[in-house]
Amino acid sequence: MLDSFSASELNDEIENSLDAGHFHLAYQPQINLRTKAVDAVEALIRWTHPSMGSLAPADFILRAEALNVIGPIDLFALRQACRDAVHWPESVKIAVNFSARAFSRPALAADIHAAIVNSRLDPKRLEIEITETHQIEDHRQFAQNADEIAALGVALALDDFGTGYTSFQALRFSNFTKIKLDATFVQNSVSENKSHAIAKAVASLGQDLSLTTVAEGLESKEQVDLITSFGFTTGQGYVFARPMPADVLSHFLAADAA
């Protein structure tokens, strides 16, 4: 439905919906596979369009990125997530997604710093997850932004590892502390030899580079047991918890800490 929108049309739709409060965040916990405690929470954007109804991220994120109008959504998610996270236990980090294309903006680190200051969130509790949906076009600017963000005390995570353009280049040149294996490899690792081998190799890579490794899309105990045996440190998926509103998450975290 949004595929027919031009850049200016989609930008107007996004701006109007932001002004009207039609965007909101859901949060999905990331579970420490050793302690079973919540280590972090990922912020997931949702759009309830006034005429098109509830839109899943797949319905609008890629289109907004392709037309380079994703910036206002990124900033909304960043600011809202920081404001929500200050009410949660200090041990829980908040992860916010940005596309690799966002790292071409010279003001990115300044925007992140402003969100931290305005929310009074400890920068060590913020993680920026970079998705691989677009190839890095300006490696120098990417590296500069990554260095500036790391200098703020904010962690960098590489999301959807194995599905896009930037993986090994980014790991080689930037200050990443976490990699997240894409759900397709995780869910197929039980039954498919190649996915099994890839998942195991990513866990080993993380150990060699002293990175936190997250397995996304976990849906069964069998998958959790296998991923844990590979050496992954963290799991995320429906087997632990579905994405939930901030108020529901607060109760979830309180129960987790009890």
Rounded-to-integer distance, Cα 202 and Cα 51, Å? 42
From the list 13, 129, 132, 216, the catalytic residue is 216
For 187, other C-beta atoms within 10 Å of its C-beta total: 20
3-state per-residue secondary structure call for 77-137? HHHHHHHHHCCCCCCCEEEEEEEHHHHHCCCHHHHHHHHHHHHCCCHHHEEEEEECCCCCC
Q: Which amino acid is at 149?
A: I
Task: Report yes or no: 207 and 231 within 8 Å, Cβ to Cβ.
Answer: yes
Residues near 6 by beta carbon (within 8 Å), at least 6 away in sequence: 67
Q: Is 129 a catalytic residue?
A: no
Phi and psi at residue 9, in whole multiples of 5°? -65, -45
Rounded-to-integer distance, Cα 200 and Cα 27, Å? 27
Rounded-to-integer distance, Cα 176 and Cα 143, Å? 11
**Cα 68 to Cα 10, 99, 159, distances in angstroms:** 10, 10, 19
What is the CA angle 112-26-133, rounded to 5? 60
Catalytic (active-site) positions: 216
